[in-house]
A and B are shown apart, each in its own frame.
Chain A
Amino acid sequence: MRRVVLLALALSLQTGVAAAQEMRPFTTFRQLHGETRLHASLEYAAGALRVAPGRPTELYRMDLAFDGERFAPISDYDAARNAVSLGLRRGGTGGVRVVSRGQLQQSANIAFAPSTELDLALNLGAVDADLELGGLRLASLDLQTGASRSVVRFSRPNATRCRSAELTSGAAELSVVGLGNSRCDRVVVEGGVGSVTLDFGGTWSSSARVNVRMAMGQLTLRLPRRLGVRVTMDKFLSSFDPAGMVRQGNTFTTPGYDRAERTLDLEVTAAMGGVRVEWLEGGGEKE
């Protein structure tokens, strides 16, 4: 009897919570009308975010489930500039909700046409983000994260040359996987508090320069052995394990750096924390 009463109580509570926390589904997309370039700006306040290549017939698409009392979707396309703003911003009249993480399950799936050159700018708040940018035609990337956990993947080679990728993380955990596939000429990473992992695996088609500035936290560099790597380290209250690289002053180089066909120049500034190097074998596997 007691179990039955407890079960009934639990069910009634669950129903109440579900009713109060209903998410609103919202979808926006635009047919592809021969656009060759798109400036996409993503602002996402809270929840889970997935970005990936989309259908070839659509310029972009966003499927969103959001808390209508506290947030409002962003969906605005400017045909004159070929620019779209997507995402989710705080709004409404619901005030601040104090609930467990599981009860606030906002989510967004955003996709872009794989055939259109994309300038992508993301501003993320309290977000669990998984950004699969491999297979897109990414011309530039600007990622700013707040208190988030973000994974940026280049699982497939970028279909076009990328001018620059600038990634700024606040109190966050940021992982960038497959930077070799990004084909970015210039990569700048600024880490606040937390951990940053940069995986330079993938297919390198040219040499690259990467600038990393860490304020406080752990930086992990996963470097392919086949590349010639030079790390210029400027550190204060930070530890660095060169993991087999040859030191000359503040510069650490791999033994075959001068003869390497492709080189990777890393300038690392670390204020407080640690810098760790892990080596990737030819196929990008971790040693």
Chain B
Amino acid sequence: MRARSAVAALLLLGAALPTTAAASPGSFPSGSNAAELVRNFWDFVAQGDDDRRAAHPKPQAIEQAPDGGPAVDLSDLSQPTALEARLKPALTPKSGPIRLTVPGGTARLGDFSVGSTESVTGPLLVVQGDADIYGRLLGNLVTVDGDVIVHPGGLVTGDILALGGDVRDLGGEIGGEIRTLRSTTIFAQPAAAAEPPPNALETVFRRLAGVIGVFLTLAALGFGLVTFGRTNLEVVSDTVSHSFGRAFSTGLLGQILLLPTFGMLVVGLILSVAGILLLPFAVVVYGLLVVVGALGGFLAVAHAMGETYIRRRLALGAVLGSPNSYRYLTVGLGALASLWLAWAVFGWVPVAGDLIRGAAFLVTWLLATTGFGAALLSRAGIRENFAGRLIPPEALTDEYLWATPQFGVPAARRPGGTRTPTRGL
């Protein structure tokens, strides 16, 4: 309101100045014009104040609460937010007028002033009104949604707290601390009622959407990995298939050592002094490597699962489309998602829902740990030592496979020349 008044006054000034200039071009405004201008300005400001005061309720005393009713002690104002929390329920009764007891003091609603010859003893609470102090207030003063104005000659011996207002010292004396919390939540409109908890069907749909979203994202990442890093993915996947226990142990150890390794990296860089500059980059790179290792490993596990399943189906004579890494990954991720989908559908069932979630978490962690371990063992798919690939694929030519004796007899040196790629056979 005050801001609106000030804007209106400025507009008035803007409108008045050209008029004055036009009335006496080339000369300064006369004294009477200037005085009138200032008077008009203050009239507007005062009118703004009156408007604001009009919003305050009619000045009246707040009745004391009956025994056991709300009471707020104003002897300690050092914790304004705590006091605000205590005042809120007392000043916003669900029904009827405000009733509040201020031990040893006074509570007022609307504007209140202490006259220059008056003296008020004990703490004073003024609610939704300004407190004008011309005389003496021997105690603390609290206003809620109103200002405190201490006029020349006015005295407040205690502390002042304005909740949702301001303290204006126009030349009075204030013995204690002045505290101002310019916004108050006491009379703020209550926030919209919290949404009721979703029912079982809504919960199921939300969880389904979440699970599907996560696994679609994983599928997208996996397809990217197949497209751009197929060899590495296959090596990690083979490491999972051929060295599952070793990969799990390595993954577990890797998880345990993640933090100490990080600490050693940081300390090492700091010790090297010059390395301090590299520290932020090293931290980011380390974090990225861990994420890539865990995520890539998890996708490799899905790949391995899908590959195993499809190969078994093919061995049983099932007619499937082309067995490729995309299909392996899709099937593997589908299998992994099935547990979480089960949780999404039956998670609302007491006890059983928690058990399904626990099982899904445990299996996911187990496989992610294995995948992480396989990624570590295979150096992100660079090393094939644990992948069951004793002979590089390039060496598996038809001639080699046909001519190589089976029982440890050294094979004849393979003639050079063209090689027949047999990968995928």
Contacts and interface: CB of A to CB of B under 8 A. Distances in A.
Nearest to A76: B78
Interface in B164-191: 169, 173-183, 185
B32 interface: no
Given A72-B79, A217-B270, A273-B273, A33 B178 contact: no
B80 A26 contact: yes
Given A25-B182, A29-B178, A72 B270 contact: no
A154 B367 CA distance: 59
Given A29-B177, A218-B276, A272 B271 contact: yes
A228 interface: no
Contacts of A25: 180-183
B141 to A, nearest CB: 14
Contacts of A217: 270
A239 B273 contact: yes
A217 B183 CA distance: 44
Interface string B70-95: 00000000111110000000000000
B109 to A, nearest CB: 24
Interface in B271-290: 271, 273, 276
Interface in B1-52: none
Interface residues of B, number: 23
B179 A75 contact: yes
Given A24-B183, A272-B271, A273-B270, A73 B177 contact: no
Nearest to B162: A27
A273 B270 CA distance: 7
B80 A77 contact: no
A76 B169 CA distance: 20
A28 B179 contact: yes
A27 B180 contact: yes
B179 A27 contact: yes
B179 A72 contact: no
Nearest to A216: B270
A139 to B, nearest CB: 22
Contacts of B276: 218
Interface in B62-119: 78-82
Interface in B258-276: 267, 270-271, 273, 276
B157 to A, nearest CB: 11
27 contacts: A22-B183, A24-B181, A25-B180, A25-B181, A26-B80, A27-B179, A28-B179, A30-B177, A31-B169, A31-B173, A31-B178, A33-B175, A68-B81, A72-B79, A72-B81, A72-B82, A73-B81, A74-B78, A77-B176, A216-B267, A216-B270, A217-B270, A218-B273, A237-B271, A239-B273, A272-B270, A273-B273
Interface of A: 22, 24-31, 33, 68, 72-77, 91-92, 193, 216-218, 237, 239, 272-274
Given A25-B183, A218-B276, 12 more contacts: A27-B178, A28-B179, A29-B178, A72-B79, A76-B78, A77-B78, A77-B176, A77-B177, A216-B267, A217-B270, A218-B273, A273-B270
